[in-house]
């Protein structure tokens, strides 16, 4: 499937061109209010090129799945989950299927207690509804108005966002990166640590040490996480569990479902509800 790139153009509805991305960012960063929101819809396979904000951003898709990259990190984010992207962090976003994005922007100088590192987060039903209301609030607004109270309540919710295990760290060591790149191209590859040791002429213990140093995971843990996050993408676009399980190297759909529930706390059929 071809990948569409923003080419400096910002979209709100499929087929409707709005303004250049840099202009949109200047508008967001230039807002005087402490908390503001935006609503933007993107077509399938759209890529938002690397950029950053002066404001903190909560990136939340009410429909669709996002794959977010920032630095040496990657997150796969389904609906009802989000990404907290602090001020100044360069990030890009790939849309898996059509995406309805809702964002909250917070001026960092006014709220120094908010997190300063990117993370995947859970979006409560309350926060979701507050965000949907907030996108219709046009700044500036009176802090003592209903709109101001909605924004303050959003801020309260942002302070207690639970972190989720949707993160896949990317290695810097070229030898380990070669393994990771190969596994992302072919996630069903069942090569063992011994196989990779022979291919790279590198001791297995050294591979494990480098994996832990670069990613905080073992070889097996990293491969498992890469497979499960790719599974999220495929489930989101309607692929069958039996097909996903086979292509990702699991012995059976039940084995895949068991591992999925162990990692994410829910079965694949319940995760997107």
Q: List pLDDT tens digits, range 16-72.
A: 454 677 777 777 777 778 899 999 898 888 999 999 999 999 999 998 899 999 988
- pTM comes to 0.84
Which pLDDT tens digit goes with each residue over 177-205? 999 999 999 999 999 999 999 999 999 99
Indicate the CATH number of 4-158 among 2.60.120.10, 1.10.760.10, 3.10.620.30, 3.40.47.10.
2.60.120.10
What is the reported pLDDT for 9? 45
Alpha helices in the chain (DSSP H): 21-29, 125-134, 146-158, 174-185, 193-200, 204-215, 219-236, 241-247, 253-264, 268-271
Q: What are phi and psi of 5, to 5 degrees?
A: -115, 155
22: Cβ–Cβ under 8 A, 6 or more apart, which residues? 8
Q: Where in the chain is the domain with CATH 1.10.10.60?
A: 170-271
- CATH for the stretch 170-271: 1.10.10.60
Mean pLDDT in the chain?
A: 88
The encoded tokens of residue 269 equal 């059929």
Other Cβ atoms less than 10 A from the Cβ of 65: the count is 22
- Residues 173, 176, 178, 183: what is their CA dihedral angle, to the nearest 10 degrees? -140
Copy the structure tokens of residue 217. Answer: 């995971």
Residues of the chain with CATH 2.60.120.10: 4-158
**Cβ-contact 114, 158 below 8 angstroms:** yes
In the predicted model, what is the mean pLDDT of residues 145-163? 93
* Cα dist from 90 to 34, 35, 87, 130, 208, whole Å: 21, 20, 9, 27, 29
CA pair distance 105, 175, nearest whole angstrom: 39
Strands 81-85, 73-77: pairing is: unpaired
Please name the residues in contact with 140: beta carbons below 8 A apart, sequence gap of 6 or more: 32, 33
């Amino acid at each position: 499937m071809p990948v569409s790139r923003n080419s400096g153009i910002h979209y709100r509805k499929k087929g409707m061109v709005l303004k250049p991305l840099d202009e949109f960012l200047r508008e967001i960063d230039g807002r005087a209010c402490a908390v503001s929101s935006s609503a933007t819809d993107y077509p399938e396979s759209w890529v938002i090129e690397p950029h950053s904000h002066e404001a903190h951003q909560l990136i939340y898709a009410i429909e669709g799945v996002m794959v977010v990259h920032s630095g040496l990190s990657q997150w796969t984010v389904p609906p009802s989950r989000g990404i907290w992207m602090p001020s100044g962090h360069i990030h890009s976003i790939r849309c898996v299927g059509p995406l309805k994005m809702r964002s909250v922007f917070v001026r960092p100088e006014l709220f120094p207690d908010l997190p300063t590192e990117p993370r995947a987060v859970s979006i409560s039903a309350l926060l979701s509804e507050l965000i949907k209301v907030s996108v219709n609030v046009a700044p500036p607004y009176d802090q003592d108005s209903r709109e101001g109270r909605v924004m303050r309540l959003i801020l309260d919710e942002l302070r207690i966002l639970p972190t989720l295990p949707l993160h896949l760290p990317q290695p810097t060591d070229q030898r380990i990166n070669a393994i990771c790149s190969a596994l992302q191209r072919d996630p069903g590859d069942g090569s063992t640590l011994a196989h990779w040791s022979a291919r790279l002429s590198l001791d297995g213990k050294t591979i494990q040490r480098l994996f832990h140093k670069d990613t905080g995971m073992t070889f097996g843990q990293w491969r498992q996480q890469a497979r499960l996050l790719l599974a999220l993408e495929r489930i989101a676009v309607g692929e069958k569990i039996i097909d996903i399980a086979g292509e990702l190297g699991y012995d059976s759909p039940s084995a895949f479902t068991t591992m999925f529930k162990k990692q994410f706390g829910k079965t694949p059929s319940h995760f997107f509800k």
